[in-house]
Chain A
Amino acid sequence: MFYLYKMAFSLKYKPVKLKSGNVIYRPMIPLTLEGNEKIDVFAILDSGSDISIIPKDIATILGIKNTGENEIFGIGGNSLRSSEGIAKISFGKGHEFYSFNIPVFIPEKEDVAIIIGRQGFFEHFDITFSEATRRIIFKKFNVDIKFNNKTV
């Protein structure tokens, strides 16, 4: 199978203040959540998270329908009760903007940051986390490429 990539684009890591006062850099991205209205947000891009998380207040404004109940297990194995739903997002930079749906968990706990995990997002791109340059590099690729009128 051949993969045809679109133009790559990159975003800089963002500084995060630790409780110690030190500053480290983490991969964060801007994106638009779409529903009853469009909300521009920034989120942690977390390759170690299976799913994405958005706060309940945002899910309510967007009108995300509850498709189930589940639990999230975080660091240390603590669980958090959550609703499940589907969010439409728009993400990109410059001439490369893409819209697609991702599954989201909506924890009962109010004060959670927005996290974009792997499911529904990472399969749209080849993603490189460059610690050396503090950049995330995205390459959108298309599968099902036609060659001589056949899908290869």
Chain B
Amino acid sequence: MHNIISNFESLSEERVTKYAGEWVAVVDNIIVAHAKSFKEVYDIVKKQYPGKRPLIGKLPESLPVVLSL
């Protein structure tokens, strides 16, 4: 069984703030790639970790958000 939940739970505050604003890929609870786009991260993992199923997402770096009325 793949480990989507443990990969997700490994995104600690330290890791999230280090790569804020970037796309990251997590394999076996370790951030193995980070870049400015999904495709870059996806291609790195496909090449360097064949057969692995990474967890990929964008770590936001933003301003506080409110809904407009």
Contact = CB atoms under 8 A, between A and B. Distances in A.
Nearest to A91: B4
A19 B61 contact: yes
Given A40-B4, A76-B68, A110-B37, A30 B61 contact: no
A110 B35 CA distance: 13
Q: How large is the interface on A (under 10, 10 to 19, 20 to 34, 35 or more residues)?
A: 35 or more
Contacts of A26: 60
A19 B63 contact: yes
Interface string A29-71: 1111000001111111000100000010110010000000000
Interface stretch (A9-17, A80-88, A100-108, A122-130): A9-17
Nearest to A112: B58
Interface residues of B, number: 34
B65 A14 contact: no
Interface string B22-64: 0000000000000011110010000000000111111111111
Given A40-B53, A42-B57, A58-B38, A48 B67 contact: yes
A132 interface: no
A contact face: mostly helix, strand, loop, or mixed: strand
Most A CB contacts (10 A, CB to CB) among B60, B62, B67 go to: B60
A16 B20 contact: yes
A39 to B, nearest CB: 7
Most B CB contacts (10 A, CB to CB) among A11, A14, A48 go to: A14
Given A18-B61, A38-B53, A113-B58, A23 B38 contact: no
A39 B56 contact: yes
A7 interface: no
B56 A41 contact: yes
10 contacts: A16-B20, A17-B60, A18-B64, A30-B8, A39-B42, A40-B55, A41-B57, A57-B38, A110-B37, A114-B57
Given A17-B20, A18-B63, A41-B56, 14 more contacts: A14-B16, A19-B63, A29-B8, A30-B7, A30-B55, A31-B4, A38-B53, A40-B2, A40-B4, A42-B55, A57-B37, A57-B38, A75-B67, A111-B36
